[in-house]
Structure 1
Amino acid sequence: MNFTPVLSGTGLVGYNFLVRTRDEQQERLAQDAVIQRETEGFVENLANIRTVDDLLADRNALTVALGAFGLQDEIGNTGLLRQVLEADPSDSDSLPNRLSDTRYLELATAFNFGGEGGPQLEGATGTASAVVEQLGNYQTPDDLLLSDSSQDRAVLRQALAHFDLEQFSRNTDFLRSVLESDPADPNSFVNRMSNENLVRFAEAFDFAGKQASAPQGETTIYSFADAFRDEAANLETVDDLFDRPDLLEAALDLFGLEEAGDDLDYLRDVFNSDLDDENSVANLAEDPRFAALAGAFEFPDREAHAALIAATPEGEEPPEPFEGKLEDMINAAGEPLEEAGDYFVNFGFLLNAPDFFGLEFFDINEDVRGTTQNAYERDYLQRVLESDLSDPNSFANFVGARDPRFETFARAFDIPQPVTEEVFEYPDGFAQAILDRYLDQEFLTSVGEADPTMRFALGFEPGLESVVATTDNNDAQWFSVLASNPLREVFEVVLGLPSSFGALDIDRQARDIQDRTEAFFGTSDLSELLESENIETIRNRYLAQSSLDSSAGGGTSSVLLSLFA
Structure 2
Amino acid sequence: MLSTFTSYQLIARDIPKAIDRIEAEPITKRDTDYYLANIGSVKSIDDFVKNDRLFKYAMKAFGLGDMAYAKAFMVKALKEGVSDSDSFANKLSDKRYAEFVSAFNFAALGANATSYNSAQQGVTNNYGLQVSVGPSQNGFTYYKGETSYYLSNISNVKSIDDLMGNDRLLTYAMAAFGLDADAEPAATVRAMLEGGVTDPNSPANTSTNKGYAAFVAAFDFAQYGDQATARDAVQQAVPKAVIGGTGLLLVKPTAQYIKGEADYYAANISKVKSIEDLLKDKRLLTFAMAAYGLDASTQTTKQIRTMVNGGVTDPLSPANLLTDKSYANFVSAFDFAQYGDQTITRDAVLKTTPKLYTTESSLGLIKPNADAVQAETSYYLANITKVKSVDDLMADSRLYNYALSASGLDPATTNKDLVRDVLEGGVRDPASVANKLSNKAYARLATSLNFEAYGEAATTRSPSQQPVVDKYMRQTLEEDAGKTNEGVRLALYFERKASTITNWYDVLADTALASVVRTAIGLPDSFAAADIDKQAQAFDAKLDLTDFTDPAKLEKFLTRFTSLWEINHPTSTAQTSIGVLFAQPTTVGISTDLMMAMQKLRF
TM norm structure 2: 0.44
Q: Name whichever structure is richer in helix by fraction.
A: 2
TM norm structure 1: 0.47
